[in-house]
């Protein structure tokens, strides 16, 4: 029910953004965005996986982003890491952005041959990652955004992560100046297809504790999934 309500809120967020976003081009537009793949590297053979994972296919709110060829401009650092993402407001936590990275090789953001193969199949061209932490509340959140060829590819990718879990998954950025390592304690992750983008959020407590009833972890997953770059593009397509 919690995640279902979040999906409704995401649709509302897109509609609100549509009302306030000016229609216009984006930096770095390229008509050949579907020609190649950014998943040509060799993925790490081992890595962490969350204890809990759920996924959702793309919704009608992102129908304008169903195909990358209709949304060809690559993500830019300024677009995916604006000032608004420097802090998140979740239930009992205020994590701040501690690290960020935008890769042209999508395999840099994943581990396991199955996951890398699916990124190649989906013609992934970019992977953006963010890591948040709130040492006061003791929480960390990893966010990853993959730029795939279509909504079908994004939906297949987020669903595949559940099957691959334990043999492949997304690679979170490390938490700076912390001994915390994702995957060593209880972790909760969520994959969302948002048009041709796949967004994966992964929340954990820094002490490794927690369980499926932890409302702060659930809240972090939802807030981390509201990626302004994707919501902004979806809003522009509704105008």
The DSSP line for 106-128 is GGGGEESHHHHHHHHHTT--EEE
- For residue 140, tell me if it sits in a domain: yes
**Distance from C-alpha of 40 to C-alpha of 126, rounded to nearest angstrom:** 11
pTM greater than 0.75 (yes/no): yes
**Distance from C-alpha of 237 to C-alpha of 73, rounded to nearest angstrom:** 13
- For residue 16, tell me if it sits in a domain: yes
Query: What local confidence, expressed as pLDDT, does residue 146 receive?
Result: 98
Query: What local confidence, expressed as pLDDT, does residue 39 receive?
Result: 74
Query: What local confidence, expressed as pLDDT, does residue 13 receive?
Result: 45
- For residue 27, tell me if it sits in a domain: no
- Phi/psi at 87 (nearest 5 deg)? -150, 145
**Distance from C-alpha of 7 to C-alpha of 181, rounded to nearest angstrom:** 29
At residue 7, the 3 state secondary structure works out as helix
Query: What local confidence, expressed as pLDDT, does residue 28 receive?
Result: 32
The angle subtended at Cα 100 by Cα 190 and Cα 43, nearest 5°, is: 65
- Domain extent at residue 154: 2-21+32-237
Q: What is the pLDDT along the chain (239 residues), one digit of tens a residue?
A: 445 544 444 444 444 343 333 323 333 333 334 656 777 788 889 999 999 999 999 999 999 999 999 999 999 999 999 999 999 999 899 999 999 999 999 999 999 999 999 999 999 999 999 999 999 999 999 999 999 999 999 999 999 999 999 999 999 999 998 999 999 999 999 999 999 999 999 999 999 999 999 999 999 999 999 999 999 999 998 76
**Distance from C-alpha of 27 to C-alpha of 39, rounded to nearest angstrom:** 22
- For residue 173, tell me if it sits in a domain: yes
- For residue 26, tell me if it sits in a domain: no
Which tokens in the block code for residue 62?
Answer: 């992102």
- For residue 85, tell me if it sits in a domain: yes
**Distance from C-alpha of 182 to C-alpha of 175, rounded to nearest angstrom:** 9
Query: What local confidence, expressed as pLDDT, does residue 123 receive?
Result: 97
- For residue 188, tell me if it sits in a domain: yes
State the total domains in the chain.
Answer: 1
């Amino acid at each position: 029910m919690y995640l279902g309500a979040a999906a409704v809120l995401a649709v509302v967020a897109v509609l609100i953004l549509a009302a306030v976003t000016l229609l216009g081009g984006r930096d770095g537009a390229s008509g050949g965005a579907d020609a190649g793949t950014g998943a040509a590297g060799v993925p790490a053979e081992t890595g962490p996986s969350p204890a809990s994972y759920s996924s959702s296919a793309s919704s009608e709110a992102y129908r304008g982003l169903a195909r990358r060829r209709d949304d060809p401009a690559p993500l830019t650092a300024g677009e995916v890491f604006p000032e608004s993402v420097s802090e998140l407001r979740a239930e009992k936590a205020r994590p701040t952005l501690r690290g960020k990275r935008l890769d042209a090789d999508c395999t840099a953001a994943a581990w396991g041959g199955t996951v890398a193969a699916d990124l190649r199949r989906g013609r992934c061209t970019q992977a953006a990652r963010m890591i948040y932490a709130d040492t006061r509340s003791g929480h960390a959140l990893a966010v990853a955004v993959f730029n795939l060829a279509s909504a079908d590819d994004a939906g297949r990718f987020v669903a595949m992560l559940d099957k691959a879990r334990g043999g492949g998954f997304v690679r979170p950025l490390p938490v700076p100046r912390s001994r915390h390592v994702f995957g060593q304690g209880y972790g909760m992750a969520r994959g969302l297809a948002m048009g041709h983008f796949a967004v994966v959020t992964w929340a954990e407590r820094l002490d490794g504790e927690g369980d499926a009833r932890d409302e702060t972890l659930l809240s972090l997953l939802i807030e981390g999934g509201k990626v302004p770059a994707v919501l902004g593009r979806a809003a522009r397509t509704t105008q």
